[in-house]
Amino acid sequence: MHKITYHRRRFLETVSMSLIGMQLGTTAVASARSDSASTAIRRFRIDVPEAELVELRRRIAATRWPDGEVVSDRSQGVQLAKFQELIRYWGTNYNWRVCEARLNSVPQFVTEIDGVDIQFAHVRSRHSGAMPLIMTHGWPGSILELMKVIGPLTDPTAHGGRAEDAFDLVLPSMPGYGFSGRPTTTGWNPDRIARAWTVLMSRLGYKRYVSQGGDWGSVVADVMASQAPPGLIGIHVNMPATVPPEIAKALGAGQPAPAGLSPDEKTAYDQLTALYTLGSGYAGIMVTRPQTLGYALSDSPAGLAAWFYDKFADWTYTNGDPEKVLTRDEMLDDITLYWLTNTGTSGARLYWENNANNFNAVDVALPAAITVFPGEIYCAPRSWAQRSYHNLVYYNRVDQGGHFAAWEQPELFASELRAAFKSLR
């Protein structure tokens, strides 16, 4: 694996399930294979050298600012005065060690799959019969998006749920993201990630499980459902791929909304039109030139932060003011994670690997559940969802939350997952 700025404690020998279980109790990893070192599941701990944090603050202090925007709104991008406040806070008052301690408070591991180290958190419920659930983050997110739902999902009785609602959680960082390895060859697309997750769940000893995701995580969950590996019994997505072919064709041609659409379908069409005409420039750059973009993301903390903050503002359900649902520290935790692991470029490269429209209809026969959050990039109508997910066991529209649903509204998100998978227990 590439060199990165954290300390990893490895058990170089293969660790048996009994040993890990004694050390970690109910949060132990389910199992570890002992056939070779390459398939070993190793303990993982983050300890960023202080020198890296000092260097980050130095770079922040040396930021060269652009001229301010010449409009009074966000139409030219991140607004200078507001952004300067965030960056100055980052360089003076922000404390990475708080985030580091929170990450280290949950059991974390690393294992090699298909030549790349996959880092993941694995939290088992104290309740017997918990449903195993693998959850996949998106961009520009990380497993930090999912940290606030660990408690509600693994310990539902402490969060308004029932013991029989409990989940065992597996939260991997995608290849090229966070503390997972950065691929050095092409081919790490959603199909390959989905197959890696199947290996991971098998390696952990799970014979029956479900998958969940938003953003890229939705794409991975959809692909897993299409692959239908033994053991996967259903999925939940909060960015479903439902756009019918005839609608996709009209959108691609830049046509007005076709006649005969229902109100929900017309709203979705208008949202997608806005995305394709005004809101997809970021993706166009990463699809075509992730390496060129990466020089700025790897060299400038402010550049990385602006690239991410723009999406936090666009995609939270806040009308462009993400601080309404995410604290400055929460956003900076995610940005700092990318900075310290130097994964701005490798994360962007996933767009290059998957140059496809991830909103167009999939063909999924496995049981599927969908929650539509009002601040999602587009709100998938039930009529479209039923055409794409042929065994739609759950569909619900809620009144809070956006693209980063688990991050923005963790209690609501957890309650949705309990309801979504109830019929599959």
Give CA–CA dist 253/69, Å, rounded: 32
Amino acid identity, position 293: L
363 catalytically annotated: no
Strand partners, 114: none
Q: Which of 168, 174, 165, 177 is nearest to 134 (CA)?
A: 168
Tokens of 78: 């991140």
Amino acid identity, position 310: D
Candidate list 127, 137, 236, 403, residue with the active-site label: 403
Candidate list 209, 338, 351, 394, residue with the active-site label: 351
Tokens 């056939």 sit on residue = 35
Tokens of 207: 């014979």
Alpha helices in 11-130 (DSSP H): 17-24, 50-61, 80-92, 96-104
Give yes or no for a contact between 216 and 190, defined as CB atoms under 8 angstroms apart.
yes
The interaxial angle of helices 190-203 and 216-227, nearest 10 deg, is 70
What does each C-alpha distance from 333 to 96, 194, 339 come to in angstroms? 7, 26, 10
Candidate list 117, 165, 168, 215, residue with the active-site label: 215
- Give the torsion sign (CA, 301, 303, 308, 309): positive
403 catalytically annotated: yes
Amino acid identity, position 258: P
Strand 368-372 versus strand 392-397 pairing type: parallel
The interaxial angle of helices 263-274 and 245-252, nearest 10 deg, is 40
In the chain, the N- to C-terminal Cα span, in Å, equals 38
Strands ordered across the beta sheet of 232-237? 42-43, 108-113, 116-123, 167-172, 131-136, 209-213, 232-237, 368-372, 392-397
Q: Is 278 exposed, middle or buried (0-12, 13-18, 19+ CB in 10 A)?
A: exposed
Tokens of 16: 């048996």
Angular region, 260: left φ>0, alpha ψ -120 to 50, beta rest: left
User: Reduced to 3 states, what is the DSSP secondary structure of residue 336?
Assistant: helix
Give yes or no for a contact between 383 and 262, defined as CB atoms under 8 angstroms apart.
yes
Residues tagged active-site: 215, 351, 403
